[in-house]
Structure 1
Amino acid sequence: MLYSFSNAAYPVEYVSCGNLVSQDGFLHDKRKMDTFVFIIVTEGILHIEQNGHRYDVKENESLLLFPHQLHFGYKPSIGKLSYFWVHFYITDPHSLICSQTALLKNQEYQESIARSTPLSAPRDCFLLPEYGRLSPQKRSVILFVQLLDMAKRDHYQATLRCRYALNLLLLEFTQESFSVNNPAKSKIPRKVCQLTEWIHTHYDQNITVDSLAKQYHYHPTYLTALFKQYTGYPVSSYVNHIRITTAKNILCSKATLSIKEVASMCGFQDEKYFMRVFKQLEGMTPSEYRNGFYEKMINTK
């Protein structure tokens, strides 16, 4: 698999974006482009071939199409298909498209790893895999929805607002993708990795320091100190960040759910506590967040 690596000090240049929705039988056009195309599938399966490699990109998976490389749908989709897409140029004159092996040997990549914290992606760079998976919280989806909304409100012009929104999206995706598809495992205690992964998949359950300590055979005080050392957060704060990030995604994508239902789905038994934590972290209520980003371009085929 290939990776695109570039210095974030050179912001990428936004071109256009949209949300493709097809009810059945979508077949991607056969073409070469001079831009990168970043895709996140939100429903169904996109069947696409690039440079001789076939990909079946499923819900909550991503694909990066490279400039000047032939890509096309190798078979029609079945049932509903929906995906977000954005076209952009990379402006870093020293950017790379390379294999994982070449990436790990790259000096600039090694330096960016050295500047990062144990659980974070390389600092100050865009690291985009050709094919990837999103974390359970799907933070990239939230930012993609915001980009689509902003593009529509800007009448689909290549504005600076859209450019900055895209750069934020790609930086977030770099972090999210790195945590799931890490090409260079950091030296983190195995149990800390297991613990964070467990929280990411069980955030909707009742989670306490005592229950985690018992499950992973740690003293609660030691677990608290160890967890904060490698994540930068107390356990309760980390859990709330995961829950609120998940809530933001649900608020963007499930308009029919009530705030109480969203709170319950994210592990909050008390709706008022959920609203208080949400406003503390996001500076607005869940309803205000939901109403803030509702427009996006949809193209159907």
Structure 2
Amino acid sequence: MEFVFIPNLSELQAENCGIAILSPGWIHRKRNISTSVFILGHQGKVEIQEESEVFCIKPSSFCLLSEGRNHWGTEQIKEKARYYWIHFKTIGIPQFISEKEALTIINNKEIAKSRLSDALLLPRYMNMINTNMIREQFHALLYEQENSSFTKEKYQATVKLMLISLNEMVIDIINNSQKNEDNKSLVNKIIQLVYENLTSPDFSVKTLADSLCYNPDYLNRHFKSLMKRSLIEYIIDKRIEHSLVALIDSDKTISTIAEDSGFSSYRDFIHQFKLRKDMTPSNYRNYHRMIHITNN
């Protein structure tokens, strides 16, 4: 895994951003531009090649395309696809560094504090377990652009905060992956089972513990010690995250989305959603659909 070191974060200038909504048959034209590009997958699959590297852009993945380097689509897409994008410029060209050097920075608090005080360190390409938080920030950014009170200064600050959030998530993922392998293995099994059974209203901490042959209390303590939240909170959070995509990208009724997301009742869905988003599902849908959409 190759990393990109982006210095002088305070001087970074975001040029423009949007969401590309693509139809079957589309292919990214060959380009060599004077800005770097951050791309976050949302739906379908798009393959983009930069020099000799091929990046598969799909939900839960992101890539960084660097200024001054050729990039192009490898083939026409076969199904509808969407991805978010931001073009930005930096003081000095972003530097490619090896995984070994990147891990040396990340794993040493003093080095990280010195090197990353005004910089970003991101992989050129990465698959993440969950990118919903970054997608929500993208939606909010696109929505706010339509407000007459949205200033250039606020735009720049919002983009930088989003990139900082992404950087923190990446570092957390890397740090967590290097923890005790036995603990990680069990937590990974839990996460995988949650993912596989998320939409079933019968799925619970007890059924999860039974399937792994563990006591529910022990499993919950073990999970919370690493993930910093209880198993039931994690399951509910993931069900809410599952509902967000349907609220934005489909016309399903709220009750149908609640059922499809694994909630046993409409009332419980509304209650849990308001606790986490401070608004109703209907308000969330309206808020995130009022965004500027481009096909760049």
* Cα deviation code 1:73-119 (max 9, x no counterpart): 3433345343221112356x89753232221123xx2235999xxxx
Q: 2:136 aligns with which of 142, 145, 148?
A: 142
Given that residues 32 and 70 in structure 1 are in contact (C-alpha distance below 8 angstroms), is that contact kept between their aligned partners in structure 2?
A: yes
Give me the whole-angstrom Cα distance separating, in 1, the residues matched to 2:119 and 2:210.
Answer: 38
**CA 1:23 to 1:281, structure 2 compared with 1: closer, same or farther past 3 Å?**
closer
Give me the whole-angstrom Cα distance separating, in 2, the residues matched to 1:44 and 1:214.
Answer: 35
SS of structure 1 residue aligned to 2:107? helix
* Cα deviation code 1:38-81 (max 9, x no counterpart): 11233343232202223343344322111222212343334534
1:98 equivalent in structure 2? 97
Given that residues 21 and 81 in structure 1 are in contact (C-alpha distance below 8 angstroms), is that contact kept between their aligned partners in structure 2?
A: yes
Query: Counterparts in 2 of 1:266-277, with a 5 A limit?
Result: 266-277=261-272
1:118 equivalent in structure 2? none
Give me the whole-angstrom Cα distance separating, in 2, the residues matched to 1:154 and 1:192.
Answer: 46
SS of structure 2 residue aligned to 1:152? coil
Query: Counterparts in 2 of 1:118-133, with a 5 A limit?
Result: 126-133=120-127
Q: 2:216 aligns with which of 197, 215, 220?
A: 220
Give the C-alpha shift of residue 158 in structure 1. 6.9
Task: Give 1:110's aligned amino acid.
Answer: N
Report the TM-score when normalising by structure 1. Answer: 0.80
Gaps of 5+ in 1: 116-121
Query: Counterparts in 2 of 1:225-236, with a 5 A limit?
Result: 225-236=221-232
Give me the whole-angstrom Cα distance separating, in 1, the residues matched to 2:218 and 2:110.
Answer: 27
Q: Aligned pair 1:159/2:156, yes or no?
A: no
Q: 1:263 aligns with which of 258, 262, 267?
A: 258
Query: Counterparts in 2 of 1:55-70, with a 5 A limit?
Result: 55-70=55-70
SS of structure 1 residue aligned to 2:289? coil
Q: Give the helix-richer structure, 1 or 2.
A: 2
2:193 equivalent in structure 1? 198
Give the C-alpha shift of residue 271 in structure 1. 0.5
Given that residues 46 and 77 in structure 1 are in contact (C-alpha distance below 8 angstroms), is that contact kept between their aligned partners in structure 2?
A: yes
Give the C-alpha shift of residue 287 in structure 1. 1.1
The 10-residue stretch of structure 1 (261-270 or 163-172) with the greater mean CA deviation from structure 2 = 163-172
Given that residues 102 and 121 in structure 2 are in contact (C-alpha distance below 8 angstroms), is that contact kept between their aligned partners in structure 1?
A: no
1:50 equivalent in structure 2? 50
Give me the whole-angstrom Cα distance separating, in 1, the residues matched to 2:44 and 2:210.
Answer: 40
Report the TM-score when normalising by structure 2. Answer: 0.81
**CA 1:48 to 1:223, structure 2 compared with 1: closer, same or farther past 3 Å?**
closer
**What's the % identity of the aligned pairs?**
23
**CA 1:79 to 1:242, structure 2 compared with 1: closer, same or farther past 3 Å?**
closer
Given that residues 9 and 160 in structure 2 are in contact (C-alpha distance below 8 angstroms), is that contact kept between their aligned partners in structure 1?
A: no
Task: Give 2:126's aligned amino acid.
Answer: G
Give me the whole-angstrom Cα distance separating, in 1, the residues matched to 2:168 and 2:9.
Answer: 16
Q: 1:111 aligns with which of 108, 113, 124?
A: 108
1:119 equivalent in structure 2? none
Q: Aligned pair 1:239/2:238, yes or no?
A: no
Given that residues 32 and 68 in structure 1 are in contact (C-alpha distance below 8 angstroms), is that contact kept between their aligned partners in structure 2?
A: yes
User: RMSD of the alignment, in Å?
Assistant: 3.5
1:208 equivalent in structure 2? 204
The 10-residue stretch of structure 1 (160-169 or 223-232) with the greater mean CA deviation from structure 2 = 160-169
Query: Counterparts in 2 of 1:17-32, with a 5 A limit?
Result: 17-32=17-32
* Cα deviation code 1:111-130 (max 9, x no counterpart): 35999xxxxxx999744322
Gaps of 5+ in 2: none
Give the C-alpha shift of residue 17 in structure 1. 0.5
Given that residues 14 and 156 in structure 2 are in contact (C-alpha distance below 8 angstroms), is that contact kept between their aligned partners in structure 1?
A: yes
Given that residues 239 and 262 in structure 2 are in contact (C-alpha distance below 8 angstroms), is that contact kept between their aligned partners in structure 1?
A: yes
The 10-residue stretch of structure 1 (182-191 or 289-298) with the greater mean CA deviation from structure 2 = 182-191
Given that residues 275 and 286 in structure 1 are in contact (C-alpha distance below 8 angstroms), is that contact kept between their aligned partners in structure 2?
A: yes
Give the C-alpha shift of residue 204 in structure 1. 1.7
Given that residues 107 and 175 in structure 2 are in contact (C-alpha distance below 8 angstroms), is that contact kept between their aligned partners in structure 1?
A: no
